[in-house]
Amino acid sequence: MTLRTHRETLTFVHPFTLSGAEDVQAPGTYMVQTDEELLEGLSFLAYRRVATVIFVPLRHGGPDSLQAITVDPRELAAALERDGSRADQQS
């Protein structure tokens, strides 16, 4: 199985919630990682999303402690739209 990973930085200007997170998340910049696997046996390259994860600060951790939360990309896009924010692409 061949995997590829896409990373992007999302900036929220308002507090937001996601169904996989216990708490309301503070405004700020968050790293999101999407993993995709190569679909084999096709005559062209195609990938299928297998996981999207957002990294949020741990409530009781140190300043660099992060928790990875699996999130539905559509829910994340809706949260960004409600916030009026944008994604900053990174590789």
Q: What is the pLDDT of residues 11-69, one digit of tens each?
A: 999 999 999 888 899 999 999 999 999 999 889 999 999 999 999 988 777 778 999 99
Question: Which token pair is 34?
Answer: 């999407």
All structural domains of the chain with their residue ranges: 3-90
Question: Which token pair is 21?
Answer: 């997170």
pTM of the model: 0.82
Question: Which token pair is 59?
Answer: 């409530």
**Phi, psi (rounded to 5 degrees) for 11:** -120, 120
